[in-house]
């Protein structure tokens, strides 16, 4: 069954992946222009992302490439199309997966794909640790 708005699925998928990031930050992380990111988030956009751009997006956000390609409409339905599903709501995520993620965060373990803002804070901390007046080791 075809969607009446074929880009609605892609827009929802992208919005879920970039939740909490600005268009500019999400675009920087995915190595696409902010305009492209804005198009992807607009369900009424009439274009279609390139397979290469979808692959870069999936890599940047730690997503499954096949699923991303199916959501973007760049994967023929004979290769998985409507079979690939991903949760778009926390209600769809198994409780065990949520608990495992919370446990990892509480333990202070590194996240696979920290938000861009988190990565920037880490860079700043590294720069702040440098003390030019400290004795050389």
Domains of the chain: 1-88 (1.10.260.40), 94-130 (no CATH)
> pLDDT for 89-134, tens place per residue?
666 677 888 888 888 778 776 666 656 566 666 666 665 555 566 5
Phi, psi of 43 (to 5 degrees): -65, -15
> pLDDT for 11-58, tens place per residue?
999 999 998 899 899 999 999 999 999 999 998 988 889 888 998 999
The torsion of the CA quartet 95, 100, 106, 107, rounded to 10 degrees, works out to: 160
Mention every residue, 6+ apart, whose C-beta is less than 8 A from residue 100. Answer: none
Question: With a threshold of 0.85, does the pTM exceed it?
Answer: no
């Amino acid at each position: 069954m075809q969607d009446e708005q074929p880009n609605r699925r892609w827009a929802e998928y992208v919005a879920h992946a970039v939740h909490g990031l600005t268009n500019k930050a999400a675009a920087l992380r995915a190595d696409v222009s902010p305009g492209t990111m804005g198009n992807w988030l607009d369900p009424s956009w009439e274009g279609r992302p390139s397979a290469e751009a979808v692959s870069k997006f999936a890599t940047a956000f730690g997503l499954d490439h096949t699923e991303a390609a199916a959501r973007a409409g760049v994967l023929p339905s004979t290769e998985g199309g409507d079979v690939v599903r991903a949760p778009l709501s926390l209600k769809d995520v198994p409780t065990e997966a949520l608990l495992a993620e919370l446990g990892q965060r509480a333990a202070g373990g590194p996240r696979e794909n920290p938000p861009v803002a988190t990565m920037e804070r880490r860079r700043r901390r590294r720069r702040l640790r440098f003390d030019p007046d400290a004795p050389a080791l």
